[in-house]
């Protein structure tokens, strides 16, 4: 699987001059953990996340200083929080291309400790891939995986040529015609199906004639 097979598209993007409050509303309304920041041509400038937007915008409750009697009642220094997205966004943003293998996307996200990555081609941001998208792959049920594998194999070599079983995302394929090339193609096809964790392909054992 490639990033373009899993990503959400079109991506919800933000412009750098957008206010932090507006950006927070967009992320909150859509349930996003982050969004790409782009210029007028859709090219990636950075990434803004929940953490970036929260920053120092949550004021302490003044009553807490009254409740803590030992703490002197001194007002904190006055400071204005960042007003626009370009002041808080992370740059450069971690990104992937549409052809990036999903396994490499997962490794990139974990290594960079990010929850989402923009998918970028020569024209700009075309989608976003999140940890939740990856989690849905892991959670896909065996029946759906088996049906998808059978469908793809049938399109390649006919429906009666294969026996497919799936357990906890592990796919087992039995090749009815005992063809080495077919078995290689079957492995490649199955590995591209969403939710597949491993693939084993073998030839059907023929009982000796009596």
| Domain CATH for 52 | 3.10.580.10
Q: Distances from the Cα of 28 to the Cαs of 21, 45, 95, 122, in angstroms? A: 10, 21, 22, 29
Instruction: Please tell me whether residues 118 and 169 are part of one structural domain.
Output: no
Is 210 part of any domain?
no
Residue 74 confidence (pLDDT) = 59
Give the pLDDT score at 114.
Answer: 92
Burial 49-77 (b: 16+ CB within 10 A, else e): beebbeeeeeeeeeeeeeeeeeeeeeeee
Which residues of the chain, if any, have pLDDT below 50? none
- Residue in 85, 34, 24 with CA at minimum distance from that of residue 58: 24
Does one domain contain both 12 and 86? Answer: yes
Express each pLDDT in 104-118 by its tens digit.
999 999 999 999 999
Q: Which domain holds residue 35?
A: 3-72+82-137
Final residue before a domain boundary, out of 91, 117, 137: 137
Cα(114)–Cα(35) distance, rounded to whole angstroms? 12
**CA atoms of 13 and 23, how far apart (whole Å):** 10
Whole-prediction pTM value? 0.74
pLDDT at residue 179, rounded to an integer: 85
Which domain CATH number covers 167? 3.30.70
């Amino acid at each position: 699987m490639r990033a373009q097979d899993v990503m959400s598209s079109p991506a919800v993007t933000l412009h750098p001059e957008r206010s932090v409050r507006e950006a927070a509303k967009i992320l909150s309304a859509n349930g996003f953990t982050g969004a790409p920041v782009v210029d007028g041509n859709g090219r990636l400038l950075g990434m803004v996340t929940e953490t970036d937007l929260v920053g120092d915008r949550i004021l302490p409750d003044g009553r807490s200083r009254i409740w803590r009697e030992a703490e002197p009642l001194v007002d904190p220094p006055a400071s204005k929080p960042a007003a626009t997205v370009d002041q808080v966004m992370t740059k450069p943003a971690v990104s992937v291309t549409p052809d990036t293998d999903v396994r490499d996307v997962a490794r990139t996200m974990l290594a960079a400790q990010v929850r989402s990555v923009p998918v970028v081609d020569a024209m700009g941001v075309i989608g976003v891939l999140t940890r939740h998208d990856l989690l849905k792959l892991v959670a896909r049920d065996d029946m759906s995986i088996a049906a998808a594998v059978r469908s793809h194999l049938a399109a390649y070599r006919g429906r009666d040529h294969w026996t497919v079983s799936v357990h906890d995302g592990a796919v087992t394929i039995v090749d009815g015609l005992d063809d080495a090339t077919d078995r290689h193609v079957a492995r490649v096809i199955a590995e591209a199906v969403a939710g597949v964790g491993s693939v084993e392909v073998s030839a059907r054992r023929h009982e000796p004639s009596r």
